[in-house]
Amino acid sequence: MSNHNDSEHNVPKPPKRKEMSRRQFLTYTLGGATAYMAAGVVLPMVRFGVDPILQKKDEGAFVKTVEVSKVTSEPLEVHFELKQQDGWYTSNSSLIAWVRRGEDGSIYALSPICKHLGCTVGYNNNPELPNQYFCPCHGAHYTQEGKQLAVASKPLDEYTVKEEEGWVYLGEIIPNQRVQ
Ligand code: FES
């Protein structure tokens, strides 16, 4: 008899489940719902603020400019528009390139921005310097490949170029690859 009672006492009792009070239930439910709604409001705002920064920039984008057949060994002045995205701000820049076919047969395009102080050079615009780019500001002049001959300390920059379906496409401006 006493043994039976002893064995009953020795049986481990299941742990008592902690009951959730009504107040706790309401607190958790309301807290969760509020957090869900707040995320719905805040996340789009965060996305709007950060999106332009994370978006892939247009670096490496090319602009269709002139037909390949029109490019000869005589530098051709080409005007084109470049759409630029800076964060939330979109702008159009008017650019100029001097496009020419070099002695090796390849097409290249020089930037007209003088490497002295940034004026715009012209081609064959000084009768004393035939077949050269000349800067009217302080007299810098350059060869057809953009090599500096006076005043400026660096050659004219060039655009990255690609030919596709009979057209010349110009990309970003890079240091001159033809001359030092
Ligand atoms: S800016 Fe061209 S020579 Fe000075």
Q: Work out the average pLDDT over 75-83.
A: 93
Pick the more confident residue, 2 or 85.
85
By the 10 Å C-beta count (0-12 exposed, 13-18 middle, 19+ buried), 14 is classed as exposed
- What is the CB neighbour count within 10 angstroms for residue 118? 9
Verify whether ligand 1 is closer than 6 Å to residue 156 (CB atom): no
pLDDT above 80 (res 139): yes
pLDDT above 50 (res 142): yes
Verify whether ligand 1 is closer than 6 Å to residue 140 (CB atom): yes
Find the helix or strand (DSSP H, E) in which 93 lies.
strand 89-101
> Could you tell which of 135, 148, 153, 157 is best to mutate to test the pocket of ligand 1, judged by most ligand atoms within 8 Å of the CB?
135
pLDDT above 50 (res 1): no
The closest alpha carbon to 50, from 91, 88, 89, 90, belongs to 88
What does the pLDDT look like over 153-179, one tens digit per residue? Answer: 999 999 999 999 999 999 999 999 999
> For residue 114, which atom of ligand 1 is closest to its CA?
2
Verify whether ligand 1 is closer than 6 Å to residue 119 (CB atom): yes
Q: Whose CA is nearest to atom 3 of ligand 1?
A: 138
Pick the more confident residue, 69 or 25.
69
The structure's pTM equals 0.68
